[in-house]
Chain A
């Protein structure tokens, strides 16, 4: 038992003790959502710092993930009842990132072992945490698949194999597209160096995605003083309605 604990500890501590380290940079540390925001691109680049020549245990591979804030979500399925399609079964997914992108320097199954994926929660299905479906639903996996399918279609979940460029086992870079329908929050970019599918070094950076200017002001107003916000909306609505009527009346006379 103690031996096993010790092994787990060693295994966990391993990346920190490795002789290779990641030095990384981002093209931007914060993404501002302005009124005319229609997506953005983040460039992630870096280098591998090492004291000794690269070990010969397989080529150096890089896996980069960018994850948005996680939220619980309900996935519902429609079934034909009484002749019409209605929502019947529902599965609550405990935590799913609002955005998730994985970029790798090679095919997923070559750059990362399953066990490492399980530990670091790198691939898209692993990044989603679903503890248990209700007893009456046998195929709960279909619900998580649907979540991934729907979000992938919207560009919110991306798996981009072979998009990280690695040069001379030292320099790497990739770019990750952020779609226009982005939600706010603290995003994390993780960079993993792997050799023969095992993670040898890891590094983490945060990217702040925030609404700014008018967007920020409206959002705060709507959540902090909703009554004032509602009245302001109505005043704007009514004055626009009245204004248009007055202009038309003037034009006609």
Chain B
């Protein structure tokens, strides 16, 4: 069934969009990542312009994360205090990111920025996660090995300390704000929630327990992506409601299935799966940049 999208001004198959939303929803529920890093490139692929894909992806992530976070709340796996601190940084970052996005769009380099950011971030984080989770799995196979969780590093010497009871942490608010800021910029530029960078940052940098990481990142993602949606809609008019609704119908159903699946898998297995997926997307995008494209020319709007 073909459906005409009023803002994107293209006609696409409704079931394709539902399916896309569903797959991304499953990932979102399983890993606590918004799945934006998959949905944005997939939307480019079906012929939706980067600006509409990024803006609409953000709207869809709000819904996917909302249904996910409710489930996490019921499990008491959300650190509200940490979420709020991350959010402060996130909103600042999203504002900056939108400015940068519009500037580069005028210069015709927004696709390059998006692709390069994907390759760099996904590559780094995918490799790091893969290595760490592989080590963790090997460690559990060898009984008797000691697990060191809380390492004392420079982060513990920063000022403005705050107690995060749910996470069992007493650390400075500066690292979470910086993490939030970075994620906010990425949310605006790449149309991602930033879960794929926030989850590892929370585990490895802030030392939060894996159990609360997913819920807390989802909590922060909801507000940052909602803010990004409003900014894109008011400055560029690029949010397509029809597209967002179709993606999210698939997405919310998928998210529920994903949360169930995620509960059954071990944290290490979950992480290695996510790492592999991140590396696969990274590899695909890197190839796009390295190999000669079949069409060297592209069309763009005149910047106003």
Contacts and interface: CB of A to CB of B under 8 A. Distances in A.
Interface of A: 33-39, 71-80, 83-87, 90, 92, 142-143, 146-147, 149-151, 180-184, 211, 214-216, 218-219, 222-223, 226-227, 229-234, 236-238, 240-245, 248-249
A-B residue pairs, 7 tightest by C-beta? A241-B66, A180-B11, A146-B297, A244-B252, A230-B233, A237-B63, A38-B2
B230 A231 contact: yes
B296 A78 contact: yes
Interface string B225-247: 01001100110010101101100
Interface residues of B, number: 55
B16 interface: no
A241 B59 contact: no
Contacts of A226: 233-234, 237
B66 A86 contact: no
A232 B74 CA distance: 27
A82 to B, nearest CB: 10
Interface in B265-304: 289-293, 295-302
B109 A87 contact: yes
Contacts of B66: 237-238, 241-242, 245
B53 interface: no
27 contacts: A35-B3, A38-B2, A38-B11, A72-B302, A73-B299, A74-B302, A75-B299, A76-B297, A77-B296, A77-B297, A78-B298, A80-B292, A85-B293, A85-B296, A87-B111, A87-B298, A146-B295, A150-B299, A183-B9, A227-B233, A227-B234, A229-B239, A236-B244, A240-B249, A241-B248, A241-B252, A242-B67
A154 to B, nearest CB: 8
Contacts of B239: 222, 229-230, 233
Given A73-B301, A248-B256, 12 more contacts: A75-B299, A76-B297, A78-B296, A86-B109, A87-B298, A146-B295, A223-B237, A227-B233, A229-B241, A233-B229, A234-B59, A234-B226
Interface centre among B64, B289, B299 (most CB of A within 10 A): B299
B250 to A, nearest CB: 10
B300 A245 contact: no
Nearest to A236: B245
A48 to B, nearest CB: 37
A71 B84 CA distance: 45
A14 B65 CA distance: 68
Contacts of A34: 4
B7 interface: yes
A39 to B, nearest CB: 7
B11 A39 contact: yes
